[in-house]
Chain A
Amino acid sequence: MTARSVAQPANAHRRPVDRAALAGRALEAFAAWILAVLWVSPLLYALWAAFHPTAYAVTFDLAAPLTLENFRAAWDAAPFARYFLNTFVLVTMILAAQFVLCTLAAFAFARTRFLGSDLLFALVLVQLMVMPDILMVENYRTMRELGLVDTTLAIGLPYMASAFGIFLLRQAFKQVPRELEEAATVEGCGTWRLLTRVYVPLARPTYLAYGLTSVSYHWNNFLWPLVITNTVETRPLTVGLSIFAAVDQGIDWSIISAATLMSSGPLLIAFLLFQRQFMQSFMRAGIR
């Protein structure tokens, strides 16, 4: 990554005494930092509020005593470990199902013309914009009839066949050169091996990009899980966090901050640690 990023437009004028360019770069760095501070400020505030007593939640006094009391209180207020597990299971389940279902469907659309393919593709595309959130009321009825209310499966099921995923993978598969497929067929690859050995590996960046949107979507999703779940065994983090949201006694920012940090800390740390690898595998081919 570093090797590549030096070769940037910013370095285009690398004459030693190009003052304008230097000033420009300083300005850019400054702009980047201003934006970064703006973007991270809610997190910074959460760090302040979570580690200080409630009395200092809105008073920024460097002499304020530090405390872990807010974390204890938040931890006691809701079973966060369980919620975290639920969210993890949910996101993993949805992602796995999406990869499998969308791969199969995309493969069919990308590589074959068959009876009814246009009609079916149109039917799939309907869902490109119509996210299941919008059809909550009807989907709730369906889940009730299927006896799935208050299950993790019910949270994930409406999202598993994703038109967006099918569409992206279809585009990716379409760009696989025909010659590769022919060569593989000559070597005696069946359809299944063709898919798993040729198409899927070549579409890796697409999987990564789609996977990131999917994880982010379901990590944050709130309305549908709220409606469809009733118990601690199924509720994801977002629903667990909402108990701090609407408040009789007024908002206690310290405890909300502690809860927020507890629930998003692991992901933040993961991003910090794996940022490099993540970006590298991403950049290998970009998203096509």
Chain B
Amino acid sequence: MPRLRPATRTTLVAWLLLSPALVLLALFTHYPAIATVWRSFHSTPRGARPAVFVGLENYEAMVADPIFWTSLANTGIYAAATVPLSMALALAMALLVNAAIPGRGLARLAFFTPTVLPMIAVANLWLFFFTPGYGLIDRATSALFGWGPTNWIGDPQTALGAMIAIAIWKEAGFFMIFYLAALQAIPPTLYDAARVEGASRWTTFRRVTLPLLGPTSLFILVNAVINGFRLVDHIIVMTRGGPDNATQLLLTYIYEVGFRFWDTATASALTVVLLVMLGLLALIQFAALERRTHYR
């Protein structure tokens, strides 16, 4: 070792440290991503017919497929709704259970329960909540507002909203934990100072609390965006993308095309679209995250 130039040695050590992670990344992210792009330019092999190069044919078919556009739009709505709503609710919950209210521990536990209830099982319980007539939601809306039965997941108007509500339920309580931890880490002296200056609660929140939650919010944001695209288990259980593709997301459609239609070529083209979208998001988020470290 001492014989090597320091720069060379540093590089060697760094590569050594990185190699296990890089091998795995190459094997399970880079290679499959490239292979997906490659396959998207080929036909689906079937039985005795091997795959042949078809150029952009799969993409042309995809663009001509109305379900692709529906799923793309739905994915946008789904992510755009679940990410901010679950984060805002998480913050609200954290603020509420950070205060000295009776039964605080139980409330925290209540918020945390969705995290440990696997979606695949709890989706069936949600099916009961959404059942028209005797489902819990209809019973509640009937008792409170006198509404009649609503076919929440059987109506294209409300089905996607119902799926979003479940995703928010699943996410918000989990994110709440991180906000709560961040709130507890804020030194009480800062609040004392704000009080001395006669700041209102809203000003205190905006000027003291919120800025200090910045890093946590970014951490949560990355998680929320990832889940905004991949949390589809309940959709697969409850609606399978229906009715009439009203809850079809890009990922559910990829699964359907790839593992039900056995059309790997089209599934690859769809995956490439998702890859590009997520890659762009990763870049944007990285820029945001890097900026944060700079001003620190």
Contact = CB atoms under 8 A, between A and B. Distances in A.
B119 interface: yes
A128 B286 contact: yes
Instruction: Give the most central of B21, B184, B204: most A CB within 10 Å.
Output: B21
Interface in B36-67: 36, 39
A249 interface: no
B22 A263 contact: no
Contacts of A275: 105, 108-109
A109 B14 CA distance: 8
A117 B22 CA distance: 12
B32 A45 contact: no
B116 A219 contact: yes
A257 B125 contact: yes
A213 B110 CA distance: 18
Interface string A87-118: 00000000000001110110111001111110
Contacts of A132: 28-29
Interface in A185-218: 191, 205, 209, 212-213, 216
A132 B27 CA distance: 11
A81 interface: no
Contacts of B264: 137
B105 A104 contact: no
B4 to A, nearest CB: 13
B216 interface: yes
B282 to A, nearest CB: 4
A135 B34 CA distance: 10
A129 interface: yes
B93 A35 contact: yes
Interface in B267-296: 267-268, 271, 274-275, 278-279, 281-283, 285-286, 289, 293, 296
Interface string A214-258: 001001101100010000000001110110111000010100110
Nearest to A162: B21
Contacts of A37: 110
A112 B21 contact: no
A264 B126 contact: no
A92 B222 CA distance: 23
A245 B20 contact: no
A260 B122 contact: yes
B35 interface: yes
A35 to B, nearest CB: 6
Interface in B105-135: 105-129, 131, 134
A33 B122 contact: no
Interface stretch (B70-78, B142-150, B151-159, B172-180): B172-180
A285 interface: yes
Nearest to A245: B237
Contacts of B123: 245
Interface string A39-63: 1111101100100000000100000
Q: Which 3 A-B pairs have the closest CB atoms?
A: A138-B32, A7-B188, A286-B185
9 contacts: A7-B192, A12-B191, A35-B93, A40-B109, A43-B110, A129-B285, A238-B121, A268-B113, A284-B185
